[in-house]
Amino acid sequence: MKMAFRSFFRRLARHISGNAAMLVALGMPVMIGTTGLAVDTAQWFLWKRELQHAVDQAALGGAWALSKRDKEYNYGQMRYYKYRAYQEYNANRAITEDFSSSPSVVLANYAGGEDNSVIVTATATKKLPFSGFIMGSAVTIEVSSQASFAEGGQYNACLVALEEDDDDTLSIGGNAEVRAQCGLAALSCEENAVNIDGSASVTTGSIATCGTANVPTELEGVVTEGLTNLFDMYADLVPPDNPTARTNECTGKGNKKQASLLPGTYSGGLVVKCTTVLAKGIYVIDGGDLDLAANYDVTGSGVMFVLKNGAKLKFGGNGQGNKITLTPMTSSELTTAGYSSTRADELEGILVFEHRNNNPPNPGHLLNGNSQSLIEGLMYLPSGDMTVLSTADVASQCLQISARRIAIGGGAVLETLCPAEESIEVGSSATEVRLIA
């Protein structure tokens, strides 16, 4: 009997026809397990991908809402930024909609700011056949996203170059000295739209341009470039008119000559020939020169000059013996002159208003004031270039220049004390919202 068993096992040991079946049987659990794990893992990655996209969109939506509304602003019974985050989260779920959690939406500080970012966290929990059988429980996928926002800056300026397609549209060179804390701006999107020579002295709170600015090192910190949404806030404003024909005549003799001028239209220009007093109102210069540069005192309180048909501006005194005092019309003065309150508010503060098709001959408009000059208000010159001459020495409480091009050179001194918030609005930078985690 023993010999029979030994013979059987020897024959069995030498038999190899069933080895493949045995190996398959032994490997089947591993193969099934690996396949099941692969299928479940693919499901987990799919959940995570969808859920991550949902919280990313939720964080961005919440950050955009914060940039538009105060964080305390409610939409119904919910903070608006949370409402927008929930809305984006729900709109971007499909596969995980039935087993993902409501998101957690909280504010957080970022990069030195306070409550300037939104963190959204969410989970998805579900038991799958294979992993659930092995682990005996469901698997939870957790995702998080953080988006920050930075409010766009508001840009105002009291020296504005309106030309949009050229370089050097606002240039300051030589030994010029400009003190304009209210800001400089150039609408041009070209390189070196603003060009400030290193020898010039410029003090300003901001320099804004659609293009680039070539400035000394000490001014680089106030420059903002690439602002594509800058605009001319007076572009749609129509110049007023005053068709009553007027002439300029001096009366008296010698040093006592004086002209008392009335509002109306001065055809062929208005050239000061003696001490001149301008009554309140609108003076239309139809061609020729508006020449206030002779060595005579000129006084005009509550006046506006309108330039058309090639009229050219020459402002200021040639020496130190004369005094130029000009202030613009107020809203109440314009209303008294017959303009509606809306129109009066639009025109208030404009000292010089140039027609857009005026096209003055070269060299364009000139500003040559002396230290006794007091020139207030806005010079709006969309058709002509403004050159501030080397002999200019102009200080004012609030002189603003908005011209096609502005060039200040030589030893010119120009100071304007306009508050930035009361200066010409030229645009803003876009709000920046981005994912940071």
Total domains, the chain: 2
Domain boundary residue, one of 130, 150, 170: 150
Question: Angle at CA 107, nearest 5°, toward 103 and 109?
Answer: 140
Residues 34 and 70 occupy one common structural domain: yes
Q: 143-177 burial by CB neighbour count: b if 16+ within 10 A, else e?
A: bbbbbbbbeeeebbbbbbbbbbebbbbbbbbeebb
Higher pLDDT, 387 or 17: 387
> Has residue 297 got a pLDDT over 60?
yes
Residues 141 and 274 occupy one common structural domain: no
Contacts for 39 with CB less than 8 Å, ≥ 6 apart: 128, 130
How far is 39 from 50, CA to CA, in rounded Å? 17
Q: Is residue 180 part of a domain?
A: yes
Band of pLDDT at residue 162, cut at 50, 70 and 90 = very high
List the domain range (segments joined by +) for residue 392: 154-429
Domain boundary residue, one of 101, 119, 150: 150
Residues 425 and 322 occupy one common structural domain: yes
Residues 175 and 90 occupy one common structural domain: no
* Range in 146-155, 233-242, 253-262, 287-296 with the lowest mean pLDDT: 146-155
> Has residue 76 got a pLDDT over 80?
no
Summarize the confidence of residues 352-359 as an average pLDDT: 97
> Look-up: residue for tokens 């408009």?
365
Average per-residue pLDDT for the chain? 86
Find out whether 247 and 270 touch, Cβ atoms under 8 Å. Answer: no
> Has residue 25 got a pLDDT over 70?
no
> Has residue 37 got a pLDDT over 80?
no
How far is 279 from 273, CA to CA, in rounded Å? 17
Residues 197 and 117 occupy one common structural domain: no
Q: Is residue 27 part of a domain?
A: yes
> Has residue 213 got a pLDDT over 60?
yes
How far is 418 from 387, CA to CA, in rounded Å? 20
Q: Is residue 14 part of a domain?
A: no
Contacts for 174 with CB less than 8 Å, ≥ 6 apart: 197, 199, 200, 390, 409, 410, 411, 412
> Has residue 278 got a pLDDT over 60?
yes
How far is 5 from 364, CA to CA, in rounded Å? 123
How far is 405 from 373, CA to CA, in rounded Å? 23
Q: Name the percent of the chain lying above pLDDT 90.
A: 52
Q: Is residue 389 part of a domain?
A: yes
> Has residue 371 got a pLDDT over 60?
no
Residues 269 and 246 occupy one common structural domain: yes
Q: What is the pLDDT of residue 132?
A: 55
Q: Is residue 50 part of a domain?
A: yes
Q: What is the pLDDT of residue 32?
A: 55
> Has residue 237 got a pLDDT over 80?
yes
Residues 52 and 182 occupy one common structural domain: no
Residues 402 and 308 occupy one common structural domain: yes
Give 414: exposed, middle or buried? Use CB within 10 Å, 0-12, 13-18, 19+: buried
Q: What is the pLDDT of residue 316?
A: 67
Q: Is residue 8 part of a domain?
A: no
Q: Is residue 363 part of a domain?
A: yes
Summarize the confidence of residues 160-174 as an average pLDDT: 93
Q: Name the percent of the chain lying above pLDDT 70.
A: 85
Residues 261 and 352 occupy one common structural domain: yes
Tell me the CA distances in angstroms from 135 to 27, 125, 130, 141, one per residue in order: 21, 14, 9, 15
Domain boundary residue, one of 150, 182, 199: 150
> Has residue 296 got a pLDDT over 90?
no
Six-digit token string for 399: 């002189």
Q: What is the pLDDT of residue 18?
A: 59
pLDDT tens-digit readout, 375-420: 899 999 999 999 987 555 555 678 899 999 999 988 888 888 888 8
Residues 236 and 303 occupy one common structural domain: yes
Q: Is residue 3 part of a domain?
A: no
Q: What is the pLDDT of residue 344?
A: 95
Residues 164 and 134 occupy one common structural domain: no
Residues 119 and 166 occupy one common structural domain: no
Band of pLDDT at residue 323, cut at 50, 70 and 90 = confident
